[in-house]
Amino acid sequence: MSTVSEVSARGAVPQPRGGITQSVRDSLVVAKRNLIRMLRIPEMVIFGLIQPIMFVVLFSYVFGGSISLGGNTDPSMYRQFLMAGIFAQTVTFATAGAGAGIADDMHKGLIDRFRSLPMARGAVLTGRTLADLVQTALTLVVLAIVAVIVGWRIHAGFPKAVAGFALLLLLGYAFSWIGALIGLSVRTPEAATSGGLIWLFPLTFISNAFVPADNMPMVLRNIAEWNPFSATVQAARHLFGNLPADYPVAAAWPMQHPIWASLIWSVVIIAIFRTLAVRKYRSATA
């Protein structure tokens, strides 16, 4: 009798399936679900493109002749310098959308439905972040085309340019886990959007994305040079060949070795915030 009861209890609450292979399969299923949803709501992608395109046009033509790079205020030189910063800002600002999407799924009870299925617990969040990565990649493609139209060019060869975009996407994927944690920690999608943006603005503007860090006060300069966002921007500029010949290189280690610094920062952020997000997911749905 007790054996039957135990079997019934186990059957009533589906147990999550283990194993890396199964976890990958479950993650891909959730990612596919989110990508299909994206295709059915194209305005999500369209509105996500408007802001970065506006930044490209505004910074290129409004501020282009006012920013000095090594004593040179040539707008075309600033456009080469600017684009890596715009690309990095675009992939990191997707964090707010990732958090809002997860908060919306929690609010509508979709997460509870996933929890009732025998699937890996981390697959729900992994699938969501992978789908956001695909959307971010599509946004970068369109944004790169707009950048070429306004005068941006690659000067270090195609393979290095691909590596530069890969570092940008890795940073965006890392930050999407921060967005996932925020989305699980708030009660509404609106709060997740606000919480996802409020810390991104100082992170992106206290950096070398839009102006050289050596123009900042000493305290802000030190913050900017050790900012993970700055490391990825500097690495992308190096791989795109967009650094001016006389551009001053800071003494800080991340600016001396931006590619390694970018990789290390992104991997560390993923390791920390994925762990925290999965733990939060388990406690929130327990």
DSSP secondary structure, 241-276, as one string:
T-S-TTPPPPSSHHHHSHHHHHHHHHHHHHHHHHHH
pLDDT in tens, 49-98: 787 888 888 877 777 666 767 666 677 788 888 899 999 998 998 888 77
Residue 195, both tokens: 């919480």
CB atoms within 10 A of CB 154: 19
d(CA 33, CA 23): 15
DSSP state of 9: H
Q: Is the pLDDT of residue 5 over 50?
A: no
pLDDT in tens, 151-196: 888 988 899 999 999 999 999 999 999 988 988 888 788 888 787 7
Q: Report which of residues 13 and 158 the model is more confident about.
A: 158
Whole-number average pLDDT of the chain: 82
0.95 cut: is pTM over it? Answer: no
Work out the average pLDDT over 195-201.
84
Q: Are the CB atoms for 173 and 133 separated by under 8 Å?
A: yes
Q: Are the CB atoms for 249 and 156 separated by under 8 Å?
A: no
- Secondary structure (3-state) at 198: helix
User: Angle 144-136-87 (CA atoms, 0-180°, nearest 5)?
Assistant: 40
Q: Is the pLDDT of residue 11 over 70?
A: no
d(CA 96, CA 127): 17
d(CA 233, CA 236): 5
Work out the average pLDDT over 137-145.
89
Q: Are the CB atoms for 155 and 240 separated by under 8 Å?
A: yes
d(CA 274, CA 80): 34
Q: Is the pLDDT of residue 280 over 90?
A: no
**pLDDT for residue 227:** 94
Q: Determine which of 56-65, 151-160, 223-232, 257-266 has the lowest per-residue pLDDT on average.
A: 56-65
Considering just the CA atoms, what is the radius of gyration of the chain in Å?
21
- Tokens 């123009």, residue? 215
